[in-house]
C-alpha cells in the first residue's frame, strides 16, 4: 500500500513536469507563429524603373505593363507587388537621378527598363551605357536585386548607331552579373495591330503580348532570387 502511494506520487510529479514542459512549448509557438505567418505572406516588391513603356502611355492604368504583370503573376500564385516607377519621356540620365526617390518604396527587386528615349533622341550610346552602368551599380550597392531589360535601335538609324546601341545591355549585364531580358518589345515592335497610332507605344493587346513573353524570365528569376532579402534601409 505504501509502495502504491509512493509510485502514485512519483507518477503525478512526472506528469506535472511533462505538462509544464508542453505548456511552455505551446506558449513559445503562440509567440513565434504570427511573425512567421506574416513573413511568409509578405509580398515581394518588384519596382519597374522605366519610361513611357512602363508608365503605360496612352493606356488606362489597369492596362499598363506593371499592373498586367502583377495580375499575371497573381494568376500563377505568385505573391508579388509590382510598383510602377515609369515616367514618360524619361532617359537613362533621368532614371539615374530618381533612384533615391524610387528606393523609398524599399523594393526587393528593380527591373530597369530605360534607354528607349535615349535612342529615339539619337543620344550618344556611350552616355547611355555610362548611365545604365551607374544605375545598376547604385541599385546593387543599395542591396537591391537588379534585372535589366534591353532595347534595340531601329535599323533605319544606320548600321554604326545600331551596332553601338544594341550591345549596351549585354555589356552591362555581363559586367554586373545581372539577368538580362534582351528586348522589351519582342513580338510587338513594328506590328500595327499591337501598337498605338504613333507606332511606338504598345496598345493594350501589345502589353499583354509583352507580359506573356517576359513572364518566363520573371518567374525564373524570382525563383533564382528566392528567398529575397529586403535591403537594410531605414
Residues with a catalytic annotation lie at 52, 198, 201
Rounded Cα distance, 117 and 53, in Å: 10
Nearest-angstrom CA–CA distance, 125 and 12: 82
CA distances, 231 to each of 16, 63, 144 (Å) = 47, 30, 6
Q: Which residues contact 201 (CB under 8 A, 6 or more apart)?
A: 52, 53, 57, 58, 195
Amino acid at each position: 500500500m505504501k509502495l502504491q502511494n509512493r509510485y502514485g506520487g512519483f507518477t503525478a510529479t512526472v506528469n506535472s513536469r511533462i505538462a509544464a514542459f508542453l505548456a511552455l512549448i505551446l506558449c513559445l509557438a503562440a509567440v513565434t507563429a504570427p511573425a512567421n505567418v506574416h513573413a511568409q505572406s509578405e509580398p515581394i516588391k518588384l519596382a519597374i524603373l522605366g519610361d513611357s513603356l512602363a508608365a503605360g502611355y496612352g493606356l488606362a492604368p489597369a492596362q499598363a505593363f506593371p499592373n498586367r504583370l502583377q495580375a499575371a503573376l497573381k494568376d500563377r500564385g505568385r505573391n508579388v507587388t509590382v510598383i510602377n516607377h515609369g515616367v514618360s519621356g524619361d532617359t537613362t540620365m533621368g532614371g539615374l537621378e530618381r533612384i533615391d526617390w524610387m528606393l523609398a518604396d524599399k523594393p526587393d527587386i528593380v527591373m530597369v527598363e530605360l534607354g528607349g528615349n535615349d535612342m529615339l533622341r539619337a543620344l550618344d550610346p556611350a552616355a547611355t551605357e555610362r548611365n545604365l552602368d551607374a544605375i545598376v551599380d547604385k541599385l546593387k550597392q543599395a542591396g537591391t536585386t537588379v534585372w535589366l531589360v534591353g532595347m534595340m535601335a531601329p535599323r533605319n538609324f544606320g548600321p554604326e548607331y545600331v551596332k553601338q546601341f544594341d550591345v549596351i545591355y549585354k555589356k552591362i549585364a555581363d559586367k554586373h552579373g545581372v539577368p538580362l531580358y534582351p528586348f522589351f518589345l519582342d513580338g510587338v515592335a513594328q506590328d500595327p495591330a499591337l501598337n498605338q497610332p504613333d507606332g511606338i507605344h504598345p496598345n493594350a493587346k501589345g502589353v499583354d503580348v509583352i507580359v506573356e513573353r517576359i513572364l518566363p524570365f520573371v518567374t525564373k528569376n524570382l525563383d533564382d532570387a528566392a528567398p529575397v532579402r529586403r535591403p537594410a534601409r531605414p
